[in-house]
Structure 1
Amino acid sequence: MDSLKELFKIGRGPSSSHTIGPERASKIFKNMYEDCDSYNVYLYGSLAATGKGHMTDKIIIETLAPKKVNIYWDASFVHPYHTNYLKFVAIKDDKEIGSIDVFSVGGGTIEIGESKKDEKKKVYKLTKLKDIIAYCKEKNITLYEYVEQNEGKEIWDFLKQILNQMQQTIENGLSKDGYLPAKIKVKRKAKDMYKEYEKANEALKLTKKIFAYALATSEENASNGTMVTAPTCGACGVIPSVLIALKEEFAFSDEMLIRSLAIAGLIGNLIKENATISGAEGGCQAEIGSATSMAAAMAAFLFGANMDEIEYAAESGLEHALGMTCDPIGGYVIIPCIERNAVFAVKALNTANFVVSVGQDHVISFDDVVVTMAETGRDLIPAYRETSTGGLAKYYEKLLNKEK
């Protein structure tokens, strides 16, 4: 498995696979072929189907500037390796001088060509949670100590940066009002939700705070703002809202918070390794389901759960998101994405609360539910995998016309 530095990324929304990934690829290709007259960029599959709403063309053109960039779209071709496929071609004197094939496989991670990274370069050798827990018990270490053992002590400085950015994104989102940048008029709700939190009775305060923080993060993402892939842009509101709300409500130290982020990252890495975190490959279960699993494990740790209870929280968080479709209206990461982040953030907290209340005894393992999620994602028809051709997205024209 890769480093957590490849899972948690600070970047601009609205999509990790459609914005951050193509931006990273564009920078690589620009450095390879600076001495050219222009660039041709071909977008295929899901990148072509929802690229306009995700600002894929915008970020590519900005990154490859000042050279001329020609964008070509072909949603009909789905590469067998991964649907998020783009091809870069450098042109000089009307001739092709170089090209690369790139796959944006989720969370902003890109692969050049069809071969995955050399396993020798992987940071983590163990790829099943049951094996990691068994190892930790044998060595008498915690899950966060296992992360440090594989990543090195520098991982804590990195996770502190991630924590700080999550806090900053929430603050940015809470400070703004008006409408989100899309043809569908959707009002920002984070600031108003925070006001609801301030006047709520004690029984509802924490829930409303999490709602507000998830909305703030997701609205920043939808507005091309800076956020953390956790594990993706589309699901970026879940972990920060739970983490920062718990920090404020229970006065957890930054040390505890970054340890909990390490555990969340370990869970996300396992899902990414054994299934997918890409909505274009596995539907929204791969994005919001993964984020809920990560946040539930993180919160369970903060509540004092042991390793087996953390495993249960991670399993339950993903299990109850199985089969979720990715059907963004108009190709924007707005409907149903933003509300979904808020609702599932509270669900993640409730999952952790449930697990620490009932204990570690359960039937389905985390490793098994990850495999199930991967199989379910493959069974979803393309219309439900970030193509905006099925589900709620079928009706986006009606909504757009209604707003005119």
Structure 2
Amino acid sequence: MEYVSVFEMLKIGVGPSSSHTLGPWRAAEAFLKELKEQNLLEKVEKVKVDLYGSLSLTGRGHATDLAAMLGLSGTDPEYIPVESISSIIDTINRDKKLHLAGAFFIDFDPTTEVVFNKNFLPFHANGITFTAQGSQMSPYTSTFYSIGGGFIIKEKTDDDKEKGSKQEKNFPYEFDSAKELLQHCIKQDKKISEIIFEDEKALREESKIHSELLRIWHTMFECAYIGCHTEGILPGGLNVKRRAYDIHKKLLGDIPNPYHTLEGWLAAIREKKVQFREILKWVTCFSLAVNEVNASLGRVVTAPTNGSSGVIPAVLLYYLAIDNHQGGEQQIEQFLLTAGVIGSLFKKHATISAAMGGCQAEIGVSSAMAAAGLCELWGGNPEQVMIAAEIAMEHHLGLTCDPIGGLVQIPCIERNAMGAIKAINAAELALETDPKNAKVPLDKVIATMWQTAQDMNTKYKETSEAGLAVAVSMADC
């Protein structure tokens, strides 16, 4: 049974898209690694990048070409100073040189060396091929597929190797479905987060699990903070005005003590009296803030994707800032472990790629993850946590992906807010549900989502060839 770690579902990277930005970036890194292993890197004089399918159709709006260049330059999306990205790209465009692997310069003209091919490769909708050439080597070509959430695979061997390496680990609670996970919870009388914590210990030390979960949360928290305190227009040509700044300013109003830290910000929010409408506005504000940072090539956490990265931080921030002022590190870790494993079930048995399944695979999955995490924090038993995830996904089934101009802005940013609100509602409904009366198991809704994805017209899978992407043109904006 393949185990997908929580830390694979929640990865730190750069926006605006996990499948179209982070994935190609990681693919470029993997290509460099192959060149090194073949002792070819020093012989390379020229590199060509071919983008296929959805990576081509919406690649410019998602900065896929930039991500490939940044990856080939030897930078890491998890740690690169985001403020340096524009200067690196500007230098490549100006000098027509690329600092390959950060080791030496080669001739590279992005207008000719990055090719947008509209045809789809048969294996997956998101294909990217790198070709290296040099006078002292035969051309070396390698094709990768970005399958959502920053995951990349090759058509055969790489995926098999990945599964094989994980099979060597001894997981105390192996499971391949929500039903099997639930059986472990019942038998051991443990919460879902407790079961997953034990499994994660097979991959890393206990102290590392704690520190990495909190590092993920800190990235989410900081992202929301930046989004709430940044005004202006989003890049890309749609002239979308940032809204989180104004909403946040109205909600927070005048405060007696100015803050200069994340913790001070959280304390300031906790001081505010919040009514029902303000709750909706705060959740909306948090989600918009994160996705506006994402749309600006900022640092975010795939949850499970960049395009849906605002849902989980918004729901967890709602819990910490508004619902439970005593919540802290324990609750944060519990939430992320629970959310992460729910995402992994969709990853294994359906998809988290909008290019494969439409937006139900991104906002739908993120809403299910957030609903599950919140339900457990609210005291829901494992059956109710599964019900919360099922309810959230059930009401996102069929959601299409139709970004205007190929940008993760309209309708994507607002969809995060809607997904966050649905997650909270789903958790509430689940807590009021007797598991004996539940009619739709989580495994069945995952299977239904995958079947829906297969039945969906390709035009509605992140191609910008239908829906709002056609009804509203760049000229309208």
The TM-score with structure 2 as length reference comes to 0.81
**Given the alignment of the two structures, is residue 192 of structure 1 paired with residue 236 of structure 2, yes or no?**
no
Cα offsets for 1:56-98 (capped at 9, x unmatched): 001212332323441111112x222211011111111296432
Aligned to 2:165: 121
Aligned to 1:72: 115
**2: distance between equivalents of 1:228 and 1:201?**
28
Aligned to 1:281: 356
Of 170-179 and 248-257, deviating more is 248-257
- Match 1:373 to one of 437, 449, 459: 449
Structure 1 residue ranges (4+ consecutive) displaced by more than 6 angstroms after TM superposition: none
**1: distance between equivalents of 2:238 and 2:32?**
34
- Match 2:213 to one of 152, 159, 178: 159
SS at match of 2:337: helix
- Match 2:369 to one of 291, 294, 298: 294
Aligned to 1:112: 154
Aligned to 1:342: 417
Of 98-107 and 60-69, deviating more is 60-69
Structure 1 residue 198, shift from structure 2 partner: 3.2
**1: distance between equivalents of 2:390 and 2:371?**
9
**Given the alignment of the two structures, is residue 323 of structure 1 paired with residue 398 of structure 2, yes or no?**
yes
- Match 2:226 to one of 155, 161, 172: 172
**2: distance between equivalents of 1:208 and 1:271?**
29
**1: distance between equivalents of 2:315 and 2:281?**
11
Q: 1:97 to 1:239 in 2, by over 3 A?
A: same
SS at match of 1:219: helix
Kept in 1, the 8 Å contact 2:5–2:341? The answer is no
**1: distance between equivalents of 2:14 and 2:378?**
32
**1: distance between equivalents of 2:465 and 2:218?**
37
Structure 1 residue 155, shift from structure 2 partner: 2.2
Kept in 2, the 8 Å contact 1:282–1:377? The answer is yes
Kept in 2, the 8 Å contact 1:275–1:370? The answer is yes
**1: distance between equivalents of 2:232 and 2:189?**
52
**Given the alignment of the two structures, is residue 85 of structure 1 paired with residue 127 of structure 2, yes or no?**
yes
Aligned to 1:142: 191
Instruction: Give the alignment's Cα RMSD to 1 decimal.
Output: 1.6
Kept in 1, the 8 Å contact 2:334–2:377? The answer is no
Of 188-197 and 236-245, deviating more is 188-197
Aligned to 1:28: 30
* Letter of the structure 1 residue corresponding to residue 314 of structure 2: S
Of 353-362 and 303-312, deviating more is 353-362
Kept in 1, the 8 Å contact 2:316–2:332? The answer is yes
Aligned to 1:357: 432
**2: distance between equivalents of 1:140 and 1:358?**
20
SS at match of 2:400: coil
5+ long unaligned stretches in structure 1: none
Kept in 1, the 8 Å contact 2:354–2:361? The answer is yes
**2: distance between equivalents of 1:60 and 1:396?**
29
Tell me the percent identity.
37
The TM-score with structure 1 as length reference comes to 0.95
**1: distance between equivalents of 2:184 and 2:274?**
45
Structure 1 residue 394, shift from structure 2 partner: 0.8
Aligned to 1:4: 6
SS at match of 1:299: helix
* Letter of the structure 2 residue corresponding to residue 256 of structure 1: Q
Structure 1 residue 13, shift from structure 2 partner: 0.3
Kept in 2, the 8 Å contact 1:230–1:236? The answer is yes
**Given the alignment of the two structures, is residue 100 of structure 1 paired with residue 149 of structure 2, yes or no?**
no
**2: distance between equivalents of 1:40 and 1:263?**
41
Kept in 2, the 8 Å contact 1:327–1:389? The answer is yes
SS at match of 1:117: helix
* Letter of the structure 2 residue corresponding to residue 402 of structure 1: D
Kept in 2, the 8 Å contact 1:300–1:353? The answer is yes
Structure 1 residue 357, shift from structure 2 partner: 2.6
Kept in 1, the 8 Å contact 2:354–2:362? The answer is yes
Structure 1 residue 176, shift from structure 2 partner: 0.6
Cα offsets for 1:368-402 (capped at 9, x unmatched): 000000010011111000000011111343xx223
**Given the alignment of the two structures, is residue 402 of structure 1 paired with residue 476 of structure 2, yes or no?**
yes
* Letter of the structure 2 residue corresponding to residue 121 of structure 1: S
**1: distance between equivalents of 2:379 and 2:472?**
45
* Letter of the structure 2 residue corresponding to residue 22 of structure 1: P
Structure 1 residue 6, shift from structure 2 partner: 1.3
5+ long unaligned stretches in structure 2: 36-40, 73-97, 100-105, 254-272
Kept in 2, the 8 Å contact 1:81–1:114? The answer is no
**2: distance between equivalents of 1:379 and 1:37?**
44
- Match 1:237 to one of 297, 304, 310: 310
**2: distance between equivalents of 1:304 and 1:195?**
33
**2: distance between equivalents of 1:6 and 1:190?**
28
Aligned to 1:217: 290
Structure ID, larger Rg: 2
* Letter of the structure 2 residue corresponding to residue 38 of structure 1: K
**2: distance between equivalents of 1:379 and 1:96?**
42
SS at match of 1:184: coil
Aligned to 1:270: 345
**2: distance between equivalents of 1:205 and 1:71?**
47
Kept in 2, the 8 Å contact 1:100–1:113? The answer is no
Of 133-142 and 309-318, deviating more is 133-142
* Letter of the structure 1 residue corresponding to residue 316 of structure 2: L
Of 13-22 and 106-115, deviating more is 106-115
Kept in 1, the 8 Å contact 2:384–2:433? The answer is no
SS at match of 2:147: strand
Q: 1:68 to 1:96 in 2, by over 3 A?
A: farther
SS at match of 2:418: helix
Structure 1 residue 318, shift from structure 2 partner: 0.5
Kept in 2, the 8 Å contact 1:285–1:373? The answer is yes
